[in-house]
Structure 1
Amino acid sequence: MSTPSLNDLIELGAISEAQGLQGQVKVRPHSSDPVALLSSKTVWLSLIPRRDAGVSVSVEQASLTQYKVKSAKMHSGNVVVALDGITDRDQALALKGARILVARDAFPKAESDSYYWVDLIGCQAINLQNEALGEVLDVTENGAHGVIAIGDAANKEIKYLVPFVKEVVQNVDLPNKAITLDWQLDWQ
């Protein structure tokens, strides 16, 4: 498999530590439900700076390394992963800090009325009055539910932090990159 574009890869977590003596790594997932990480057969590891750090990184600079996943399981809020070719604790420790990336097209199909947050980023948000609220810039979790940050993508200015709950989110149209919300322009 050839090295994919960084735009085709989604960061799912970071290696925080070695796990045991057999070369397994402990991954701190970015999601509370890391289904894509648990089901991936292939991952890419990178020690490049994060994209949101303001650093422009090309594929040549990325030095991505592909690994086949032998196993992945949840353990105490982390994902313990065994990678092909990593057979002892020293090799696993050498990967500490590496970011885990997976090709977006390798994600399992989302259930109906479920969405991968990465797919929401870039969607145009409108309210029930058909007024433009802005573009979805980010999606985070606050413990109780997801929160979508909506604003101006050109200057990365966030105008609204909107709870991603069914009472507010009326419709998600991923093919047209649009989200309809029960939200007013003057709500902050």
Structure 2
Amino acid sequence: MDKLKIGVITNTFGIKGELKIKSFTDFTEERFAKGSKVELLIQDKYKEMTIQSAKEHKGMMIIQFKGYENINDVECFKGVELYINKSDLHPLKNGEYYFFELVGLTVVNETGDPLGTVLRVEEGLAHNLLRIEKLDGSTGLVPYNPAFILRVDMAKKIIQIKVIEGLL
């Protein structure tokens, strides 16, 4: 079963078993809602947990798992990653993609010549950025913006971009 990482536990918060989560999802409220299930990857095994409570605090999520009400019960979770099943993802609108779907796609120019491969999607201030590994092994950034992204073809596994001077 394919899993998708949605966050990592960075530390404890207070003494009542709450944990600080660095979220990797655009659907924070949904993924960390009370009653939601997540899986913790502990020593190469997944442990399903139910979220008892969640709130946002200074850009981090603060959550508490059902049955864990003491700091001593959760200290062992520091650094542990949180996952969901990819089958639990809801469909996006036409033309929208999850970040993980773009990784590995070939980037081509307007005429279809390959330029490189998407390594990852990075969050920028104005918009997201595609980190591209170019054919020479170096990397570059392409704004994920309609001014540069001409077409995403998931069937052909390509992203066609408009290349301007200095972009790559």
* TM-score higher than 0.5: yes
Identical-pair percentage: 22
Relative distance call for 1:18 and 1:187 in structure 2 (3 A) is: closer
- Where 1:64 maps in the other structure, the secondary structure is strand
Quote the offset at 1:158 in angstroms: 3.9
Question: What is the RMSD of the two structures over their aligned residues, measured on CA atoms?
Answer: 2.9
TM-score (ref. length: structure 1): 0.73
Q: Is the 8 A contact 2:9 2:22 kept in 1?
A: yes
TM-score (ref. length: structure 2): 0.81
- Where 1:94 maps in the other structure, the secondary structure is helix
- Identify unmatched segments of 5+ residues in structure 2: none
Equivalent residues, number: 167
105, 114, 119: which one aligns with 2:101: 119
73, 82, 97: which one aligns with 2:64: 82
Relative distance call for 1:187 and 1:76 in structure 2 (3 A) is: closer
Quote the offset at 1:184 in angstroms: 6.0
169, 173, 181: which one aligns with 2:153: 173
Looking at structure 2, the residues matched to 107 and 71 of structure 1 have their Cα atoms a distance apart, in angstroms, of: 21
**What amino acid is the match of 2:141?**
L
**What amino acid is the match of 1:178?**
I
Q: Is the 8 A contact 2:32 2:51 kept in 1?
A: no
- Where 1:180 maps in the other structure, the secondary structure is strand
Relative distance call for 1:37 and 1:185 in structure 2 (3 A) is: farther
- Where 1:93 maps in the other structure, the secondary structure is helix
Quote the offset at 1:169 in angstroms: 0.8
2:40 pairs with 1:45: yes
Quote the offset at 1:36 in angstroms: 6.1
1:19 aligned partner? 13
Q: Which runs of 4+ in 1 moved over 4 A?
A: 184-187
- Identify unmatched segments of 5+ residues in structure 1: 49-61
114, 117, 127: which one aligns with 1:145: 127
Quote the offset at 1:41 in angstroms: 2.4
Q: Is the 8 A contact 1:127 1:184 kept in 2?
A: no
- Where 1:143 maps in the other structure, the secondary structure is coil
Quote the offset at 1:120 in angstroms: 0.6
Alpha-carbon displacement from aligned partner over 1:84-112 (angstroms, at most 9, x marks no partner): 33222211222111111222222233234
Higher mean displacement: 160-169 or 17-26? 17-26
